Structure 1
Amino acid sequence: MKTLTLEAPAKINLTLDILGRRTDGYHDMRMVMQAVSLGDTVTVAEAAGGFSLLTEGISLPAGKVTLEQRAADAFFHRLGRPVPGLEVRLAKRVPAYAGLGGGSADVAAVLRCLRTLYAPDLPRQALEEIGLAVGSDVPFCVRGGTCLAEGRGELLTDLPPLPDCAIVLCKPDFGLPTPELFARLDGADLGPRPDTAAMAAALARGDLAAAAACLGNVFERVLTEEEGEEIRSIKEALLRHSALGAAMSGSGPTVFGLFDDRQKAVRAKEALEGRYRQTYLAAPVKILEKME
Structure 2
Amino acid sequence: MAAEALAPAKINLFLHVGPPTADGYHPLCSLMVFANLGDRVGLTETGGFTLRGPHAAALAGEGDNLVLRAARALLAQAGGLHAMPGLILEKRLPVAAGLGGGSSDAGAALRLLREAWSLDMADAALEAVAASLGADGAACLWGRPVLAEGRGERLSAAPGLPAIDAVLVNPGVAVSTPAVYRGLDGSGAFSDVTPPPMPEAFESVEELAGWLRLTRNDLEPPALALAPAVGDVLATLADEPETLIARMSGSGATCFALCAGDYEAETLAERIEAMRPDWWVERCRLGGPWA
Distance of 1:143 and 1:271 partners within structure 2: 33
Given the superposition, is the C-alpha separation of residues 41 and 223 from structure 1 closer, same or farther in structure 2, using an over 3 Å criterion? closer
Cα displacement string for residues 137-166 of structure 1 (whole angstroms, at most 9, x for unaligned residues): 121111212111111111111113431021
Distance 1:225 1:42 in 2: 34
Paired residue for 1:284? 286
CA deviation after TM superposition for structure 1 residue 119, in Å:
3.3
The corresponding residue for 1:4 is 3
Aligned partner of 2:253 in structure 1 is: 253
Task: Indicate whether 1:56 and 2:53 are aligned.
Answer: yes
Q: Is 1:173–2:172 an aligned residue pair?
A: yes
Does the C-alpha gap of structure 1 residues 74 and 85 become closer, same or farther in structure 2, counting only changes over 3 Å? closer
> How many Å apart are 1:97 and its aligned residue?
0.9
Distance 2:255 2:202 in 1: 25
Aligned residues: 283
Gaps of 5+ in 2: none
Percent identical pairs in the alignment equals: 31
- The question of whether the paired residues in 2 share the 8 Å contact of 1:74 and 1:133 is answered with no
Q: 1:176 to 1:89 in 2, by over 3 A?
A: same
Q: Are residue 210 (structure 1) and residue 207 (structure 2) matched?
A: yes
Q: Distance in 2 between matches of 1:266 and 1:52?
A: 36
Paired residues of 1:15 and 1:195 also in contact (CA < 8 A): no
Give how far 1:181 is off. Answer: 0.7
Q: Partners of 2:167 and 2:157 in 1: how far apart? A: 24
Unaligned runs of 5+ in 1: none
Please tell me the residue identity of whatever aligns with 2:282: Y
TM-score by length of 1: 0.87
- The alpha-carbon deviation at position 191 of structure 1 amounts to 7.6
CA contact (8 A) 2:234 2:246 kept: yes
Whether contact under 8 Å (1:145, 1:285) holds in the other structure is yes
RMSD between aligned residues: 2.5
- What SS class does the counterpart of residue 130 from structure 2 fall into? helix
Do the aligned partners of residues 179 and 68 (structure 1) sit closer, same or farther apart at CA in structure 2, a change above 3 Å counting?
same
Deviation of 1:285 (Å): 3.5
Describe the SS at the equivalent of 2:22.
Answer: coil
TM-score, with structure 2 as normaliser: 0.87
Q: Which runs of 4+ in 1 moved over 4 A?
A: 191-196
- Aligned partners of 2:77, 2:128: CA distance in 1, in Å? 10
Q: Offset of 1:175 from its aligned partner?
A: 2.1
Residues 225 and 113 from structure 1, CA distance in 2 versus in 1: closer, same or farther, beyond 3 angstroms?
closer
Q: Which amino acid aligns with 1:102?
A: G
For residues 264-283 of structure 1, the aligned pairs below 5 Å read 264-274=264-274, 275=276, 276-283=278-285
1:206–1:52 CA distance, 2 compared to 1 (3 A): same
**Equivalent in the alignment of 2:26:** 27
- Secondary structure of the residue aligned to 2:64 is coil
Mapped partners of 1:19, 1:8: distance in 2: 28
TM-superposed deviation, 1:123: 1.8
Q: How does 1:93-132 map to 2 (within 5 A)?
A: 93-132=92-131
In structure 2, what residue type is equivalent to 1:264?
Answer: E
In the aligned structure 1, how far is the partner of 2:19 from the partner of 2:190?
Answer: 14
Q: Which amino acid aligns with 1:278?
A: W
Do structure 1's residue 184 and structure 2's residue 183 form an aligned pair? yes
Alpha-carbon distance between aligned partners in 2 of 1:194 and 1:210, rounded to the nearest angstrom: 22
Q: 1:270 to 1:143 in 2, by over 3 A?
A: same
Checking the alignment, whether the CA contact within 8 Å between 2:230 and 2:252 is kept in structure 1 is no
Distance 1:192 1:287, change over 3 A: same
